C-alpha cells in the first residue's frame, strides 16, 4: 500500500505545482498546491504534515485550508491506481533543456509499505507514455472528482 507521495511540475522561472498524499494511522489525505499560491515545498514525511478533520488544525498548516481532501476511504484504490500508472516508469526522462530555463520539470517520489526505500522518478522536457493520463487522474482526484 502507498504510504506517501509527492509530485511536482513546473520550472525555476515560473514555479511549481505540487501534489502530496499521505496515509497515517487513522486517515489519508491529498493536497494540491499551485505555483500561483507561492508556497514553498512541503515535506510530506514530516509527522506534523497531517490534515485531519477530526483534529484541531495545526496553525503552521493553516495556509492549506480548503486545499486538501480526505481520501481515507479511497486510499486503497488510489494506491492501486498510482501503482498501475508508475509500474513501468524509468527513473529518468531527461530531454533537451532550454538554455533560458523555461523547461518543463517534473518529479515523483513515492513510498510503498512493501519497499524499505522510497522511489524517485523525474524528467525534464521528456515524459512517460502515460504522463498526460497520470496528470489528468491526479488532477481529478485533487479537485474532488473521484473516479
> For residue 101, is pLDDT > 80?
no
pLDDT band for position 55 (50/70/90)? low
> For residue 99, is pLDDT > 80?
no
Digit-coded pLDDT (tens) for 13-46: 899 999 999 999 889 999 999 999 988 899 999 9
Arithmetic mean of pLDDT, 134-147: 83
For the record, the C-alpha cell of 90 comes out as 524509468
Task: Fill in the DSSP letter of residue 62.
Answer: G
> For residue 60, is pLDDT > 70?
yes
Mean of pLDDT over the chain: 91
Q: Which of 11, 18, 10 is nearest to 109 (CA)?
A: 18
* Interatomic CA distance for residues 85 and 105, integer angstroms: 19
Amino acid at each position: 500500500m502507498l504510504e506517501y507521495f509527492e509530485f511536482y511540475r513546473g520550472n525555476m522561472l515560473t514555479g511549481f505545482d505540487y501534489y502530496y498524499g499521505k496515509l497515517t494511522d487513522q486517515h489519508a489525505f491529498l493536497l494540491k498546491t499551485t505555483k500561483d499560491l507561492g508556497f514553498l515545498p512541503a515535506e510530506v514525511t514530516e509527522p506534523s504534515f497531517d490534515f485531519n478533520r477530526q483534529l484541531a488544525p495545526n496553525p503552521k498548516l493553516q495556509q492549506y485550508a480548503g486545499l486538501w481532501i480526505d481520501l481515507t476511504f479511497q486510499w486503497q484504490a488510489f494506491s492501486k491506481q498510482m501503482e498501475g500508472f508508475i509500474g513501468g516508469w524509468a527513473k529518468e526522462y531527461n530531454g533537451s533543456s532550454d538554455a533560458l530555463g523555461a523547461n518543463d520539470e517534473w518529479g515523483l517520489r513515492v513510498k510503498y509499505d512493501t519497499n524499505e526505500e522510497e522511489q524517485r522518478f523525474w524528467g525534464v522536457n521528456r515524459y512517460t507514455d502515460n504522463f498526460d493520463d497520470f496528470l489528468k487522474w491526479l488532477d481529478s482526484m485533487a479537485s474532488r472528482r473521484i473516479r
